[in-house]
Amino acid sequence: MKISVLTIFPDFFPAVLGEGMIRAAREKGRLEVAIVGLRDFTDDSHRTTDDYPFGGGAGMIMKVEPIDRALLGLGVGEKQARPEGSRVVLLSPQGRAFTQEIAIEYAGLEHLVLVCGRYKGVDERVSAHLADEELSVGDFVLSGGEPAALCVIDAVARLLPGVVSTFDSVESDSFHSGLLDAPYYTRPATYRGWSVPEVLLSGHHGRIARARREESLRRTAERRPDLLAHAQLSPEDRRYLAGIEAAPALDAGGGTAMPPERKADPRATRPKGRPRAEAAARRRPTAPKGPSARSKPRPKPAAQLRSSRARKTSARRGE
Ligand SMILES: C[S@@+](CC[C@H](N)C(=O)[O-])C[C@H]1O[C@@H](n2cnc3c(N)ncnc32)[C@H](O)[C@@H]1O
């Protein structure tokens, strides 16, 4: 596939495009990246790409003409007559939130064009008449679209066929599988008294796979319970989740089905960044009551994985 980037800072890119997975994708002929300098599409001696906002106010606005001309030069100028498999994306904090699902969608395109804004933003006519969509890489404001473009290029490059040698690794990545990924360790097995979970040293592939799956489920339930609503879960996964305090109640189809008393659970509205311990303490009084609610034994492999965390905490406390 080809990714074209429209920018007023073309020098931002070469070093990053020449490293790691993006480099591998380019060298394997899977990805072509064209960096298009918007100043090459200006017609004044100062090569102006921005101007004052109509109506006044602080900050400069990127002009529509250089972007329009650059898109025409790439053969994707007319929105209604764009070649099939091409997409023009304006990077913007106001756009649709970039996800792994969108990265997969983009990896199936033939030509993705990323338009990088700068300053106070981009003349709205680019969004209204030239771009197919706006895309945000998160709820924060960058000074320009270039770092956002690099995020997109990197996430897409590693999905192209043959770029990552073991695609299994991509498939178990966070979000790709619908869950957060499991934790990983490498040698040494013990470092400063911090040990790797024993199950990972057992050489028993079935037990290791199950322990990883359960750790994936557990941390997804704790950190991103929203993901469970759309995850593909086996009956075994559901049984495991049923024993996890942090897990939302699941309906038979995999979606979350909160009983009324759990809808008031403060974790549902926990502001981002609130310390987990505080949130846990706050939610305890509202945890479902009943003989089985607290007495369920936690499944074993994940308990083994957790034991390293307990050891880590003890070590930190100097116990
Ligand atoms: C300083 S920002 C402009 C922000 C704009 N005034 C607003 O509040 O929506 C300049 C450019 O950086 C890029 N940008 C900033 N934050 C971004 C984000 N979270 N995702 C994608 N692009 C972003 C966009 O291309 C944007 O036009």
Instruction: Take atom 13 of ligand 1 and give the residue whose Cα is closest.
Output: 145
Q: Which residue has the higher pLDDT, 285 or 254?
A: 254
Q: Cα–Cα distance between 300 and 209 in angstroms, integer? A: 13
Q: Could you check whether the bond before residue 93 is cis, i.e. omega within 30 degrees of 0? A: no
Q: What was the pLDDT predicted at 242?
A: 95
Distance of CA 286 to the CA centre of its chain: 32
Dmax over CA atoms of the chain, in Å, equals 79
Question: Ranked by mean pLDDT, which of 239-248, 263-272, 274-283, 286-295 comes out on top?
Answer: 239-248
Q: Cα–Cα distance between 213 and 208 in angstroms, integer? A: 8
Q: What was the pLDDT predicted at 227?
A: 96
Q: What was the pLDDT predicted at 172?
A: 86
Q: Which residue has the higher pLDDT, 175 or 295?
A: 175
Q: Which residue has the higher pLDDT, 244 or 126?
A: 126
Centre of ligand 1 from the C-alpha of residue 205, in Å = 46
Q: How confident is the model at residue 165 (pLDDT cuts 50, 70, 90)?
A: confident
For residue 282 the two structure tokens come to: 């706050």
Distance of CA 168 to the CA centre of its chain: 18
Nearest C-alpha neighbor of 91 from the set 65, 117, 118, 109: 117
Sheet bearing 133-136, strands edge to edge: 32-37, 2-7, 111-115, 86-97, 133-136
Q: What was the pLDDT predicted at 234?
A: 96
Give the β-pairing of 32-37 and 86-97. unpaired
Q: What was the pLDDT predicted at 252?
A: 52
Mean pLDDT of the 179-186 span:
97
State pLDDT tens for residues 208-257: 999 999 999 999 999 999 999 999 999 999 999 999 987 777 665 544 43
Name 246's Cβ contacts closer than 8 Å, sequence gap at least 6.
218, 221, 222, 225, 267
Ligand 1 atom nearest residue 138's Cα: 19
DSSP SS3 for 195: strand
Q: How confident is the model at residue 65 (pLDDT cuts 50, 70, 90)?
A: very high
Q: Is the pLDDT of residue 120 over 90?
A: yes
Q: How confident is the model at residue 168 (pLDDT cuts 50, 70, 90)?
A: confident
Q: What was the pLDDT predicted at 247?
A: 75
Q: Is the pLDDT of residue 294 over 80?
A: no
Centre of ligand 1 from the C-alpha of residue 144, in Å = 6
Contact between 74 and 4 (Cβ < 8 Å) = yes
- Whole-angstrom Cα Rg for the chain: 24
* Domains delineated in the chain: 2-167 (3.40.1280.10), 179-285 (1.10.1270.20)
Mean pLDDT of the 245-271 span:
47
Q: Cα–Cα distance between 23 and 11 in angstroms, integer? A: 16
State pLDDT tens for residues 27-40: 999 999 999 999 99
Centre of ligand 1 from the C-alpha of residue 143, in Å = 6
**What is the value of pTM for the model shown?**
0.81
Q: How confident is the model at residue 59 (pLDDT cuts 50, 70, 90)?
A: very high
Q: How confident is the model at residue 260 (pLDDT cuts 50, 70, 90)?
A: very low
Centre of ligand 1 from the C-alpha of residue 288, in Å = 43
Q: What was the pLDDT predicted at 169?
A: 82
Q: What was the pLDDT predicted at 309?
A: 45
| Stretch (H or E) spanning 240 | helix 235-242
Mutate to test the pocket of ligand 1, among 67, 126, 141 (most ligand atoms within 8 A of CB): 141
